[in-house]
Amino acid sequence: MKLLIINGPNLNLLGTREPDTYGKESFEDYFSKLQFKFRETELSYYQSNIEGELIDRLQQADKEFDGVILNAAAYTHTSIGIGDAVKAISIPVVEVHISNTFSRESFRHTSYISANAKGIIIGFGLPVYDLAIQSFINK
């Protein structure tokens, strides 16, 4: 199985950005742990702060991967384009969020992705990625 993790804006700052909300571990370090834990699954990772690049990567993933784990970060709440890209591709997408978006500002309670996602995992810290991978393996 081949899975792609796509992270959106500011997630390149994990480990240093708001550690009380997002933790102190960089995503690169956590990704290495995921690769070790899920050795039977081919995991790839992509991050961009640019909306159009995230849309391009979702579209490309359709031909390369069995599924996508998407943390669109702030674009979750603003990007109809990313939501449309999720709807347009044929592979399943699991939406993840490190923090509980429903315990934060009200604008974070809306997602343009959720309606077309296979599922949503929020609020458990970095282990949301682990849970999303398991959702593909245990389908």
Domains of the chain, residue spans = 2-138
Q: What is the pLDDT of residue 21?
A: 75
**Alpha carbons 26 and 32: distance in angstroms, whole number:** 10
109 has binding-site annotation: no
Active site residue 97: yes
12 has binding-site annotation: no
98 has binding-site annotation: yes
Catalytic residue among 22, 30, 112, 129: 22
Q: What is the pLDDT of residue 109?
A: 65
Would you say the C-alpha torsion 61, 67, 73, 76 has a positive or negative sign? positive
Provide the 8-state DSSP code for 25: S
Q: What is the pLDDT of residue 108?
A: 66
Q: Which of 33, 69, 73 is nearest to 50 (CA)?
A: 73
- Fold designation for 2-138: Rossmann fold (3.40.50)
Q: Tell me the whole-structure pTM to 2 decimals.
A: 0.92
**Mean pLDDT by groups of 10 residues along the chain of 139 residues:** 97 84 87 98 98 98 97 92 98 93 69 95 95 95
